[in-house]
């Protein structure tokens, strides 16, 4: 992974992730499946100009989906929960 925008795919906006943003200063992102914790930390610090304390990652397995008589799978994803230093905020995600 060379570039920060290739590592971070998109933020996760759900009730749980917004609650974590407000209560524990944790932000959730969908990241590239091949990215590791060090690359995720560097990408978040570079893109949002914040200090990252901790990165937790988890793989979301694919699920079966049907559309009529056709069956397929959703893509496998990787999520990263990033803990920021007290006082740091990601302005783009505030006010959701």
pLDDT, tens digit (0-9, with 9 covering 90-100), for 27-79: 999 999 999 999 999 999 999 999 999 999 999 999 999 999 999 999 999 99
Say yes or no to pLDDT of 96 above 70.
no
pLDDT at 93 over 90: no
Would you state the pLDDT for residue 82? 97
- Say if residues 26 and 51 touch (Cβ distance below 8 Å): no
- Reference 10, options 28, 29, 26; nearest CA is 29
Beta strands at 52-60 and 26-31: parallel, antiparallel or unpaired: unpaired
Measured between alpha carbons, how far is 10 from 33 in angstroms, rounded to an integer?
A: 13
The b/e string for 77-88 (b: 16+ C-beta within 10 A; e otherwise) is bbbbbbebeeeb
**CATH, domain range 4-85:** 3.30.70.330
Q: What is the pLDDT of residue 1?
A: 59
Half-sphere exposure (Cβ direction) of 21: Cα atoms closer than 13 Å? 19
The residues, any chain, with a CB within 8 Å of residue 72's CB and separated by 6 or more, are 64, 65, 66
pTM of the model: 0.88
């Amino acid at each position: 992974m060379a570039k920060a925008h290739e590592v971070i795919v998109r933020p996760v906006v759900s009730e749980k992730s917004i609650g974590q943003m407000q209560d524990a200063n944790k932000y959730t992102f969908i990241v590239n499946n091949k990215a590791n914790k060090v690359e995720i930390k560097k990408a978040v610090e570079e893109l949002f100009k914040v200090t990252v304390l901790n990165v937790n990652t988890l793989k979301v397995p694919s699920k079966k989906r049907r559309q009529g008589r056709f069956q397929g799978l959703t893509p496998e994803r990787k999520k990263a929960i990033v803990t920021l230093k007290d006082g740091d905020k990601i302005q783009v995600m505030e006010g959701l």
